[in-house]
Amino acid sequence: MSTGNLKDIVVNVENLEVTFDEKKIIRNVSFNVRRGEIIGFFGISGAGKTTIIRVLTCQISKKNWTGNVNVTNLSPGSKKNYAKILSNIGYVPQLEELNLYYDLTPLKNVEVFASCYGMKKKEAKNIAMELFSILDIPEDTWNKPLKKMSGGEKKRVSMAIGLIHKPDILFLDEPTTGVDAAKRYDVLSYLKKLNRRLGTTMFLITHDMEAALIVDRAAILRDGKLLEFDSNSNLITSLPNNGLVARFSIENLNEEKINIIKRFPNAPNIKTIRVGNETLEVLMDDFEKNLSKLIQFMMENGLKINAMSRDVAAFRRYFQLRIQEEEEKERLIRIQQDAIEEVEI
Amino acid sequence: MYLSGLVKKEFGRIKSDKRTLVLIFAIPIILIVIFGLTSGGGPTAYFNAAIITRDKELCNCYNSTDGYDDIFIEVVDDDCEAWGLFDDFESEDDDDYDKIFDKCVELLRDEIIDVFIILPDDFSERITNDNDTEIIYYIDGSDKQAKDAVEVALQEPIGKFRLEIGKTVNFTTMTPYLEYEVPFWESQVLNYAFATIASMLILGLLMNLTSLSIVSEKPLPRMLLTPTAKDEIILSKLIANTIIMILQVTEIFIMSAIFGLYCLGSLFELYLVLLMTGFCGICMGLFISAISKTEQVANQLYMMFFIIVIMFSGAFINIESLPLAMQIIINSLPLSHSIPLIVSITMKGLPIDYAHLASLALISTTFAVMAYIAFRFKKVEV
């Protein structure tokens, strides 16, 4: 993990552990974030993404967590630092209704939230106008009640509110949730645009693997553990054969057929991901050399291949594989533990 | 620094919510007109009386030691279900009568008695001679319904007295002067209903306005991810709603004056009492909002609180007839203080009763502190 220049580090987390009611939610998590980076926190529900962000945003009392955490060089462990940290960060919740007063206009909303940071009305208005322009919010809507705006416009106003006080770090909770497929890319490109223009460090908490397109580094979490924290390209090239995948369309694909492929003798490190009803992706070492042998092996074992293509794995595949790998590890540990218990009995 | 922005935000929210504005400013006008034209005070089912007897004669046919006046007093004291005797006074001469009369007026004003009855000096003589006689009674005219009810209720001691003496003598009941009555040229119905209706309106509407102010504000948890403190948020709500309340109370005050508000006492003191009642409503509403998890719970709690406050306001149930523990509970509710305060100022012209006013202030403060504590410990997460 790259530590970067110490001056540039805006978030530093060392050995973070979060416990609620004696249940460990976050286990020994460490990472740091450099100024201007976009970080993606990926994980399935209950992985601990939001809990880490809640620690960073002073929402969890110090009695529930241990470790060394610094946000803009201030520890959220001390209540004295809360106001300063909260001045340095912005937050965009998943649902716009949690960030906006729908009865008020975008400019009035800006005024309300800017006043929470002690900003002057004129200063806030100027920043808002700049942000609204970057986010392509039509000028004729600035003085209309938010409830009359479209979902996408509300989302962009919500982002602008998060940035109104020019924070060092912006936390975005599921920024693409509830947005239709086509607009998801718009939201992501607006975030990238804001990041480039303002240099704001961004934390994206998301289920949406497409968000990996704009992140500088991705964190993968599972059961409170940080499995990976690296750039998208580094993660993919760490896959067998730099993430080269063979995509097979196999007739009547089922678990039994997948297990046959997993037994391919020439590539013991073979990895498979089912990506559709009859579609399977395969990653393996010595891809070029082994591919024809794998096809032959599959045919010899009675698998009917309808189509085949090759591609480079996307982050989504990396994520699936990494989670699968972790689940497999845990399964083996459980088997071992059960065996030990049986012997003891 | 942050407070003014938050207060403006509260105004913005209220202003943009047309339904709330109607609720706050239009409903009072409608209700003042409707209630003012149709209702009176709460029913009185029991009368505490004092009797002044001027009767000099003894009854020579029924009991050699007592006069008929003593029998009447005994009947009121022992036999009547709707009547209780506070005391009876025998006047020796006119000077004595004047003193007793003044004392009874004072008892009436202080609401120690509901009515005082005067038996004339020829009471026993007339009954002995089977002549018709008269009973004069004075009642607290500020209680419109009691005024009507006492005329009917007076038939009970008269009937029982007739049975006791075995005579069918006729009685003429006379009310030469009603203490604290609304003059005939003023709006009778509005003024008799004013204390109850105005205080219920102000308290109810403001409780309703504020009972959703915390629980329905969805961006509130997000706002707590700014340097704004919870104290500032609840204070901004208190300030904004208090300003709205002042406007609403002023509107009710002016509208009532236009519709013929009759006030013997200080208008400023009346205005002060209405403001205190409104402030109580705000504090109670904030408390409801702070302890409620959802808008539905807040609505239910509001209804529950409001019904309790109305039920035990003293307008429907005679507080003094309830057990002591119940009286303590009732006295911790705002309307049991604001209604008597308004009645005493408007109809009796009395100066403000600081004990009642202090009680209102104490109730408001208690609810405000409880709201603050509840909000401090309320779990608000984005």
* Chain B residues in contact with A124 (beta carbon < 8 A): none
Whether B219 contacts chain A with CB within 8 A: yes
Q: Percent of chain B having pLDDT more than 70?
A: 88
Does B123 share its domain with B160? Answer: yes
Among all chains, which residue has been given the structure tokens 């970080």? A39
Name residue, tokens 């901004």.
B236
**In Å, how far is B111's CA from the nearest CA of chain A?**
51
Domain region containing B371: 3-38+185-377
For residue B288 the two structure tokens come to 């409801």
At B83, which amino acid appears?
Answer: W
User: What whole-number distance in Å separates Cα of residue A227 and Cα of residue A170?
Assistant: 23
The reply to whether B117 and B139 lie within a common domain is: yes
Which three-class secondary structure state does DSSP give residue B305? Answer: helix
Same domain, B232 and B347: yes
Parallel, antiparallel, or unpaired for β A38-42 and B83-90? unpaired
Amino acid A328: pLDDT: 87
CA distance A301 to B294: 60
Token pair recorded at residue A169: 């770090």
Question: Hey, is the C-beta of A117 within 8 angstroms of any chain B C-beta?
Answer: yes
Do B276 and B335 reside in the same domain of the chain?
yes
Q: Per the domain annotation, does B198 fall within a domain? A: yes
- Both tokens of B151, joined, read 């005329």
Half-sphere exposure in the Cβ direction for A322 (13 Å, CA): 25
Is the domain of B147 the same as that of B166?
Answer: yes
CB crowding B119-135: b at 16 or more within 10 Å, else e: bbebbbbbbbeeeebeb
Which stretches of A204-314 are DSSP H helices? 232-237, 255-262, 287-300
The secondary structure of residue B93, as a DSSP letter, is S
Cβ-proximal residues to A311 (8 Å cutoff; 6+ apart), any chain: A244, A245, A247
Residue B217 lies in a domain: yes
Q: How many Å lie between the alpha carbon of B286 and the closest alpha carbon of chain A? A: 20
Instruction: Tell me the helix, strand and coil percentages in chain B, rounded to 5.
Output: 60, 10, 30
Contact B262, B186 (CB under 8 A): yes
Give the per-residue pLDDT at B287: 97
Summarised one tens digit per residue, pLDDT across range A260-281 is 999 999 998 899 999 899 999 9
B382 assigned to some structural domain? no
* Residue A83 at interface with chain B, using a CB cutoff of 8 Å: yes
CA dist B278 and B202 (Å) reads: 5
Q: Give the SS3 label for residue B152.
A: helix
Segment among A125-129, A277-281, B324-328 with least mean pLDDT: B324-328
Q: Are B75 and B32 a contacting pair, CB within 8 Å?
A: no
Q: Taking Cα atoms as reference points, which of B107, B256, B102, B275 lies closest to residue B187?
A: B256
Residue among A231, A293, A235, A239 at smallest CA distance from A261:
A293
Is there a contact between A79 and B230 (Cβ–Cβ < 8 Å)? no
State ipTM: 0.82
Q: What percent of chain A has pLDDT over 70?
A: 98
Structure tokens of B273?
A: 């009492």
More confident call, B189 vs A60: A60
Give yes or no for A103 touching B (CB within 8 A): yes
**Interatomic CA distance for residues A310 and A248, integer angstroms:** 9
Q: How far apart are CA A153 and CA A133, in angstroms?
A: 12
Full strand arrangement of the beta sheet holding A169-173: A89-92, A169-173, A201-206, A38-42, A217-222, A225-230
Using CA atoms of B42, B46, B49, B55 in order, give the dihedral in degrees to the nearest 10: 120
Strands B83-90 and B133-139: unpaired
Asked if the Cβ–Cβ distance from A98 to B222 is below 8 Å, we say yes
- For A108, phi and psi rounded to 5 degrees? -70, -40
Mean pLDDT of A74-98: 94
Q: Please state, for a pLDDT cut of 90, what percent of chain B lies above it.
A: 36
> What are the start-end ranges of the E strands in A59-141?
65-71, 89-92
Q: Residue A101 is encoded by which pair of tokens?
A: 């007063």
Cβ B139 vs Cβ B115: under 8 Å: yes
Look at residue B254 and tell me whether its pLDDT is greater than 80: yes
Return the DSSP state at B79.
I
pLDDT of residue B46: 77
- β-partners of residue B53 are B90, B119
Q: How far is CA B315 from the centre of its chain?
A: 5
Does the structure show a pLDDT above 60 at B42?
Answer: no
Position B235 scores a pLDDT of 95
> Do residues B197 and B304 both lie within one domain?
yes
Indicate the average pLDDT of chain A.
Answer: 92
Confidence of residue B37 (pLDDT cuts 50, 70, 90): low
| A228 backbone dihedrals φ, ψ, rounded to 5° | -145, 150
Does some domain include residue B179? no
- Between A344 and B342, whose confidence is greater? B342
Round to whole Å and give the CA distance between A150 and A141.
10
- Which residues partner with B172 through β-bridges? B134
Nearest CA in chain B to A101: B219
Query: Is CATH 3.40.50.620 the right assignment for the domain spanning A240-336?
Result: no
Of A239, A205, A219, A231, the residue nearest A318 (C-alpha): A239
d(C-alpha B345, C-alpha B262), whole Å: 10
* Residue in chain B lying closest to A59 (CA): B381
Cβ burial, residue B235 (10 Å; 0-12/13-18/19+): middle
> Which range (B46-60, B150-164, B299-313) has the least confidence?
B46-60
The predicted pLDDT at position B62 comes to 52
- Could you say which residues from 2 to 31 on chain B have a Cβ atom under 8 Å away from some Cβ of chain A? 2, 4-6, 8-9, 12-13, 16-17
- Domain shared by B216 and B142, yes or no: no
| CATH number (domain holding residue B92) | 3.40.1710.10
Fold for A6-235, please state it.
Rossmann fold (3.40.50)
Residues in chain B: 382
Cβ–Cβ under 8 Å, residues B142 and B180: yes
Query: The tokens of B123 are what?
Result: 């009471």
- Which pLDDT belongs to residue B243? 95
Do B131 and B93 lie in a common domain? yes
* Same-domain pairing of B190 and B167: no
What torsion, rounded to 10 degrees, do the Cα atoms A260, A265, A271, A274 define? -20
Distance of CA A21 to the CA centre of its chain: 27
Task: Report the distance separating Cα B251 and Cα A293, nearest Å.
Answer: 90
Query: Tokens 């119940």 sit at which residue?
Result: B326
Is B257 in the same domain as B137? no
User: Which residues are paired to B382 by β-bridges?
Assistant: none
A305-312 and A244-250: which strand pairing?
antiparallel
Could you tell me the residue ranges of all domains in chain A?
6-235, 240-336
pLDDT digit string (tens) for A174-227? 999 878 887 889 899 999 999 999 999 999 999 899 999 999 999 999 999 999
The C-alpha atoms of residue A77 and residue B133 are separated, in whole angstroms, by: 89
Q: Give the containing element (helix H, strand E) for B65.
A: none
Which residue out of B11, B20, B217, B218 would a mutagenesis test of the A interface target, given it has the greatest number of A Cβ atoms within 10 Å? Answer: B218
- Contact predicate B334/B275, CB 8 Å: no
E strand residue ranges, chain A: 9-20, 23-34, 38-42, 65-71, 89-92, 169-173, 201-206, 217-222, 225-230, 244-250, 271-274, 279-283, 305-312
Please check whether residues B20 and B98 belong to one and the same domain.
Answer: no
> What is the least distance, in Å, from the CA of A248 to any CA of chain B?
44
Cβ atoms of B64 and B132 within 8 Å: the answer is no
Residue in chain B closest to A144 (alpha carbons) equals: B16
Residue A119 has what pLDDT?
A: 92
Task: Place B5 in a pLDDT band, splitting at 50, 70 and 90.
Answer: confident
Paired tokens of B9: 């935000």
**Tokens read off for A336:** 């071992």
Chain B residues lying within 8 Å of A114, measured CB to CB: 5
For residues B130 and B7, membership in a common domain is answered with: no
Q: What is the largest CA-CA distance in chain A?
A: 76
- Domain count for chain B: 2
Cα–Cα dist A332/A312, whole Å:
29
Q: Label residue B138 by pLDDT band (50, 70, 90).
A: confident
Q: What is the pLDDT of residue B175?
A: 67
Q: Once rounded to an integer, what is the mean pLDDT over residues B282-292?
A: 96
Residue A107 has pLDDT above 60, yes or no: yes
